[in-house]
Each structure stands twice: as structure tokens, then as C-alpha cells.
Chains A and B, each alone.
Chain A
Amino acid sequence: MSIFLQAIISGLAIGAVYALVAMGYNAIYAATRVFNLAQAQVVMVAIMVTWWLRQEQGWETAPAILAAIGISILVSVAIEGICVSLIRIPRGEANPIDQMALVALVTTLGASIVIQNGAVMLFGSGVSPFSPYLPARGYRLGGATVSPQQILMVATAGAVALAYQTYMRRAPWGLRLHAMAEDIEAAAYRGVRIRQGRTIAFGIAGLIAGIGGVVVGPIAFADPTVGFQFGLSGFVALAIGGFGTRSGPLLGAMLLGISEALVAGYVNGQYRIFVDLGLLLLVLLVRPQGLASTPSVRRM
């Protein structure tokens, strides 16, 4: 029983990380149909900058975190500026939005390669321990241990999800992004500046990634190559939950995290990638539009 409970707890905690990555993907995809393959690298940037400022440069925690988040936002906006807004699709092509998303997939892939290798060049390829923010002593809960770090992660994911929802529903640009997500052409006709909206979407994704990186630092290491793993898991989480849905990222991420933790607890932690693959294939077979979405028009 305690294995099960421990698995649930660590599953929720790692699910929180996946949720933050997935929410970042979703923030951009919903409004622009672009899938930003470099999203997870922005998370890595936040981790590395926080580590470097706090541990290598001796900064206090609070300014280091703020700086890391700020830099993440900047990097994300730069990705948009270079890799997305410069794409020109010749006029008269069918499906210009889809074509742009396709090209953006490759350019953001390029960006993710550049960012990851840039980090390796700046910080070396070694892996360093990340000093935690909170004491490691955990609380007992029915045979399992919950650490303050884990509570922090889950709480942060929940808070970010709530804040994002509120923003999308209340703030002027949130509503405009919502409009873009529903029907980008109609939004343009109604005066929404698509270009600006895209930049804002990327900025929000950068913010979410920055927070995610800062919060996950203590349980991950300061490792420049960590981006790819998070990216893949974040994608699987979003695919399970449903692209462009409200609760998809959180739902899918928790499910994925718990499944991975259960397999790690009862069988072997190394099978993680098979859990990801298996769950993804299962969802694609059974409910391809995602668990959190309503059945929509069948696409051929």
C-alpha cells in the first residue's frame, strides 16, 4: 500500500512538471496552431540560469528566480520573432496556416538544437546538483513521505493553471487569444492583431516555462540536455489530455506522471519510455482528440 501511495505522490509531483511544459505548448498551440518544439529548452534555460546565478554567482534566491523567469520570457519571444514570424508562405497556397505550422515545426526544432547546444557551450555538458529552496525533511502520510519540494511543485502547477484560466477569461489579451484559438481568420477580421497575439502567446509560454524550470530545478539536476526528455513527456501529456483544450494539459500530465511512477514503483524505472509510448498509442487509438476534449468533426 505504501508503494502505491508513494507512487501517487511522486507521480503527482512529476506530473506537475509535465503539466507546466504541456501548458506552455498549449498556450502557443491554441492561439496559433504552432507547436513550439523549443518550449522544453526554455524550461532548461530557466533551470540553468537559476543554478548559475544562485550557485555559481552567489546571488540571493529571489533575484535569481526573477532573472531566470525574465530571461525565459525573452528567449521565448526571440524564438517567435526569428523562427515563426519570419516565415513567409507564398500567397495562394492552400492551407496557409497549416503550412506555416509545418515550417515552424522545423524552425523551432532548429531553435531547440541551437538553444541546447548553446547551453552546453556556455555551461559545459556536465551535470551539477541543484541546491534546493526548502528543507528536505518530509512529512509522513500513511506510509509514504511527502517532501515540501513535491508540495511546492504540485501547488505551483495548480496555481499557474488557475492563473492562466483567469487570464484567458478576463484579461483583454486573454480574450483575444481565445478568439484566435477559436477562429483565427474571424479574429483578424474583428481587429485582433495576430502578430502581436502570437508574440504574447509565446511570452506567456515563456513565463510558464520559466516558472516550471525554477520550480523543477531541485529535483532535476542542472543539466543542459534535460530539455528533450521534458519536451517529449510534455508532448505526450498534452496529447493524452487533448491539444487546445482547457484542462487537457493538467489532466494528461497527472495521468502520465502517475502511470510512470506506478511502473517505476512496481516494475522498473527504466521502462518509463515504454509507458509514455504505450499510453500515447492507447489514447490515439481510443480517443484521438484527447481525454479532456469533446468529440468533434471527424478528420480524415
Chain B
Amino acid sequence: MPVNARYVVAKAFPVKIEDMSFWLNAGLATVAVAILWWLPNLGVKPAAVNELTLVALYAATVIGLNTVFGFAGQITLGPALVFAVGAYTTAILSVHLRWNLWLDVVIGVVVAGIVGAIIAAPALRVGGFYLAMVTALAAQAIPTWAELTPKLSGSDVGLSVNPFSLGKKYFHLNADYRLSIVVLALCGLVASNIARSAWGRWFRALQTSEAATSAVGVSVYRAKTVSFVLSALIGGLAGGVYAGTEGVVGATQFSFDFSIVLFSALVLGGVGSLWGPVIGVAIYVLVPYYFLPMNWGPQSQAIYGGILILVMLAVPKGLASIPRQLSSSLRIRLGNGETERREHARPLKSTTEGAMSVLCERARQLAPGEVVLEARDISHHYGGVAALNSVSISVKAGEVIALIGPNGSGKTTLLNALSGFIGRGRGMIRCRGKEIQSWTPHRRALLGIARTFQRPVIFSNLGALDNIRTGLTERRPAVWSSVVRSPRHRRFEARSRIRAQQIMRVLGLGDEEAASAALSSDLATHKILDIARALALDPIVLMLDEPAAGLAADQVAVIESVISEVRNAGVGVLVIDHDVGFVSRVADTVVALDRGRVIAAGAPDDVRGDPAVVAAYFGDMALEP
């Protein structure tokens, strides 16, 4: 291993880079909270303390927005919606029913979460910016509703809410302020815990590729909904506390402008980063009072708009991404050329014989030759074209079946049909006794049907180790479990890390890969990473789409050894490829497709020589002497 600056630093500070940044952030956060807590005692004026209370609550709301937009990549323009729901629920319960204010806030949080789920559920099915518009519409509905129900909502004048109290003592200005700091710290902690958990990894995977996220057994729809409900709960909490600290809740406070401010603050600070929300909202505070949300005219709004444009153009990933970008370009420089070498194809280490069986627990329980995946009469049409026409295929445990055929013959379509990525076609698919043709991709992945993609999809915002960890399915923790760091969550984190490292060792990915961002690697490493992630599912069926394409001869040899190891471990393997030699060496059975139909099936040499197959590839001319 070359001795360079990075090597020295890594040896001197044996703490992993991930952990180091965690402790750094935790330290910063503790210091910040301490300073904020004691601000009133440091001679800050009461008017400023009041503004800071608002700012803290807005920052908390933006943390919620960050969870859904920054982590999971879903655009929403209605943080004002859940904030308003929390505020109004709290206010209405407190004013009209006279329930305890603390209880009202809790109920406000719950109601905000429910409203969030209801509004988001249909929009999330289709994804994209439908959610943005639905939330914008719904946020607009709040002031309208308030006008239509003046008795309930107090209309423009608003509802007057009593302040918070503990026992007999009512909260005054400083107590309200400290409460809002507590809320902010709490929301920050929740967001941070999620980010550093399996759910955080799945959310970030969602941003890169919904298809690949499905392929590792995560329901995309559910992940989006969870992220949205989380943000709704956070927004509802901020809104509820706002009702108690502000004392007045009225329709004019929740206009669409409010949504814009919150959104812009997040964009400015850095979407998806942990400090982004706080930085963004803090920047707005440092600008003179003229720019504060409550009283701003067209000039300042126009400037906001301009800032949005400029920031997004200059730093599409937000201000908080600047340190990261700087550090990664610094790292490249300290690497003394190691990165440049990485751009060339590097020889992959071959796998340790027999080590694969350790990884494939489910496959060990299969009988050799048992049919693990069976498809009958699969048909699929794209428009008027029959991509697949009554294709039947069986994948057996401990055997490799190869799928060949000219371009457009339907190979990838068949793989997509087997893994669930195409909508309803016709035919029956059975896996170990269960009929799965109507199952979604993530359910099939959980059952043990793993696949890779023709062009490897790597979650670029996760490191190599984390990429593999997303695939682990055993005893996944629930969201709340990760938030509170329950034992189940901790066990999963430890287990998934160990398992992912095991997989990396077996597949010959060294420790250097673990630290670097997955994006900087080359094609061969990406392909192996894709396979590694699929193996993390503990599959009984592994489907590889052109695993050898684009690789040099020695790398193809590595892929071959991986495939035979996986086969020996008892997994049923389906391989699509064009390389005839590769297919002959690796496969036990070959199935040839042409224009959506099976034209030959059998041992590799038989299929190779089959005249129909030759004609499909080379045309009738090949038959002439």
C-alpha cells in the first residue's frame, strides 16, 4: 500500500472518517445549543429574543422539510400546511375546549401527521412534483378555510391562545425562547438519528434511483410516505409550540409566502445536509429587520427570488455542500495520484473459494436442482409490439441459466418481468410455491429474488459499504426504532456493517473502497458493487444483466469466478450476456430468445450450434457454405 499523506493520517487517527464527522457535529451542536440557551442572560434584547424564538421554530420546520426534500428528494411546497395545522389544532383545542395546552400541542402533532399522510398519499403514488403542487394547493386552502369558518378559526383576527405553563407559573419571554430551542434541538436530533440509520440510507438511495431502491427490498412508496409524515410531525410540533409562544393564531400568518421563505431557507442552507436548515434560517436572521418574514415588501421578495436562482445555479447541492466538495477535492490532491490510477481498470481480486456459502444462508436450505423461480407463458406488449411472447423459463438452485439473443429479443424485458419492474403482462411466475406475478419489485426482493442492472446503479451519495448495507433485509428496524436508537436499531447497524464488510472481503473489494465515495470507482468496481448489493439480500435467485459487458478479459474472469461461487453456494443464477465464450464457461443451461420467443434451450454447446440461433444472430446468410 502506497505510503502517502492519507495513509499517515489514517494510521495516526484510527477513528473512522464517518465517526469523526459525527463527533465533530455532535460537539458543534452541543456548543451551539449551550450558547443559544444562555443568550438571554448575555444581554440580548427582549425583542431580539422574541424574533429568535420564531426563528428557532421556523428552523425546526425547515428540518422537517429537509427530511422529505433533502433526504428523500420529494419536493414539497407546503411546510406552511403542516405548521398551520399544528398551530390551528392547538389553538382551537385550547381556546374552544380549554384543554391543557401541552396536550393540545401533542394532539396538534398527531393531527398534522394524519393530514400530511392524507394529502401526500395519492400524490406520492406518482411522485415527481405532483406532491409539490398538491401541498401548495392544500397550503392555500388553509387561509380560505379560516375565512369560511370564522367562529372556529377566528378568521383574520385570529385566536388568542394562553401561554404555556408548568404548574402555576406561566411562561414568559425567556421561557418561551428556551422551549423553542429545546424543540429545535429535538428535531435536529431526530433528523440526525434518521440520517445515520438504515432509513437515512434508504432515503438517500431513493434520491438516486427509485428502481434500485425497490431492488434492495425497500418499498419506494412507503419510504416516501414515511419521510413525508415525519416532516409533517415535525412541522406540526413547531406549529403547535408556535401557537403557545406567539399567543395569536390567524389566517394571515400562513400565506403561501411563508412556504416560500421556508423553502428558500432550505435551498440556501443546503438541501439534504444536517446543518442546512439552521444555516439557511440563520442567514435570514443576520440580514436587517427589513428582510424578516413578517413584514417584507416586493423588493425583498424579488431579492429572495433572485437569491434562489443564483444559489441553485452556483451550488445545485446547496451551501452546506461546499465543505464536502472542498474536502473531496482536497482529498484527491493529498492522494498523490492514487485517484488517477484508479481511473484505469484495476484488476479485481478473485474471490475466496467456499467463502460465498457463508453469505448465502437461505440458499443453503435449498435442495440442489430445486426449481426456485418458475415462469410460464410470460407475455408482454409495448404498444403494438410483443416484447415477450409466451416465454417460459425455470431457474434451479445451484445452477446457472444463461439468456442469450440478439438485441431487442426481450432478454432484459424478461428479467424485468421476473423481478417485477414491468407492469402487468400476462403469465404466471412462481417462486417456491408462491405465485408472485402481481407482486411489486420490493416484495420479490425481500423474498430473495435479487437482480443487477445493465448499467450498474450505484447510490452515489452513499459510500461503498453503505451501498451494500442498504440490501440487508434481516430484522430491519422501524423508523421510530431508529429515531430513538433502540436496541433493535443498534443490533441492525452492527450486523449490517459486519455483513457488508464480509461481502466486500469475499468479493475482493478492499478497505480503500470502503472509505471513498462510490462514485469515483471504475466500471469493474461498480459492477462488483452492484452484485455485492444484490448478495446482501441473501438471495435464492440472482439475476445478472450483462455482468461482463465492457470489462477487460481479466475482470471477466473475476466475474466468472463470482458467478460459479454463488452457484456453488446453492443460489439459482440467471445471466444475460452476449459473450459466447463467457456464457459457455459459466452456464449449465442456455436459453435463446429471438423477437420475444424462446427459439432454443439446452446445453451451451447444443444451443450454440442450433441453426435457429445462428440465423437469429447472423441472418440466413450464415447458413450458406
A87-B313, A120-B298 known; A228-B308 Cβ under 8 A? no
Selecting from A7-15, A50-58, A110-118, A254-262, the interface stretch reads A110-118
Query: Known contacts A83-B309, A228-B256, A273-B141: does B129 contact A105 (CB below 8 Å)?
Result: yes
> What residues of A have a CB within 8 angstroms of the CB of B221 in the complex?
300
CB distance from A269 to the nearest CB of B (A): 11
Question: Taking the complex as formed, is A291 at the interface, i.e. its CB lies under 8 A from any CB of chain B?
Answer: no
Interface string of A83-121 (1 = CB under 8 A from B): 100111100111100010011011101111110011011
Which residues does chain A contribute within 8 Å of B408, judged by CB atoms?
none
Counting CB contacts under 8 A, is A235 at the interface?
yes
Judged by a CB distance under 8 angstroms, whether B357 is at the interface is no
B391 at the interface (CB under 8 A from A): no
Which single member of B140, B220, B263, B305 contacts A112 (CB below 8 Å)? Answer: B305
| Minimal beta-carbon separation of B114 from chain A (angstroms) | 15
Supply 10 further A-B pairs (C-beta < 8 A) apart from A270-B147, A299-B127.
Answer: A102-B73, A102-B75, A105-B129, A117-B302, A232-B140, A235-B133, A236-B137, A270-B144, A284-B123, A285-B122
**Chain B interface residue count: which class?**
35 or more
Q: Are B129 and A35 touching (Cβ within 8 A)?
A: yes
- Say yes or no: is B299 at the interface (Cβ < 8 Å to chain A): yes
Task: Decide if the interface of chain A is mainly helix, strand, loop or mixed.
Answer: helix
- A110 contacts B137, C-beta separation under 8 Å: no
The CA-CA distance from A35 to B421 in the complex, in Å, is 26
Least Cβ–Cβ distance between B272 and chain A, in angstroms:
12
User: Chain B residues with Cβ under 8 A from A86's Cβ?
Assistant: 313
**B423 to A297, Cβ gap below 8 A?**
yes
Give the CA-CA distance A163 to B457 in the complex, in Å: 42
Please tell me if the beta carbons of A117 and B122 are within 8 angstroms of each other in the complex. no
Residues on the B chain within 8 Å of A298, using CB: 422-424
Cβ contact within 8 Å between B302 and A239: no
Q: Quick check: A236 and B308 within 8 Å, CB to CB?
A: no
Instruction: Give CA–CA (A259, B423) in the complex, Å.
Output: 33
Q: What's the Cα separation between A114 and B304 when bound, in Å? A: 8
User: How many A-B pairs with Cβ below 8 Å?
Assistant: 137
- The answer on a CB contact under 8 Å between A117 and B140 is no
Q: Contacts A113-B302, A117-B302 hold; do A94 and B309 have CB atoms under 8 A apart?
A: no
Interface presence of A281 (CB below 8 A): yes
Are the CB atoms of A300 and B312 closer together than 8 Å? Answer: no
Residues of B within 8 A of A (CB): 73, 75, 119, 122-123, 125-127, 129-130, 132-134, 136-138, 140-141, 144, 147-148, 208-211, 214, 220-221, 256, 260, 263, 267, 298-299, 301-302, 304-309, 312-313, 316, 421-424, 440-442, 457-458, 460, 519
Whether the Cβ atoms of B214 and A300 lie closer than 8 Å is: yes
From B140, B299, B316, B442, A87 is in contact (CB under 8 Å) with: B316
Contact among B130, B148, B457, B458 for A270, CB-based, below 8 A: B148
Q: How many residues of A contact B (CB 8 A)?
A: 51
Inter-subunit contact A300/B308 (CB<8 Å): no
- Interface assignment of A3: CB less than 8 Å from any CB of chain B: no
CB < 8 Å: which of A125, A232, A273, A299 contacts B144? A273
Q: Pull 5 A–B residue pairs with CB atoms less than 8 Å apart, ordered by A.
A: A94-B460, A118-B298, A120-B298, A273-B140, A285-B122
Cα of A12 to Cα of B302 in the assembled complex, Å: 35
Complex Cα distance, B421 from A189, in Å, reads 27
- Interface assignment of A288: CB less than 8 Å from any CB of chain B: yes
Question: How many angstroms from the CA of A57 to the CA of B133 in the assembled complex?
Answer: 38
Check A299/B126 contact, CB under 8 A, given A113-B308, A270-B147: yes
Task: Judge if A274 is at the interface, Cβ distance under 8 Å.
Answer: yes
Output the nearest chain A residue to B304 by Cβ-Cβ distance: A113
Output the least CB separation between B451 and chain A (Å): 14
Residue of A nearest to B210 (CB): A300
The list of the 4 closest CB pairs from A to B, nearest first, reads A113-B305, A110-B308, A298-B423, A117-B302
Complex partner residue of B440 from A88, A121, A235, A300, CB under 8 angstroms = A300
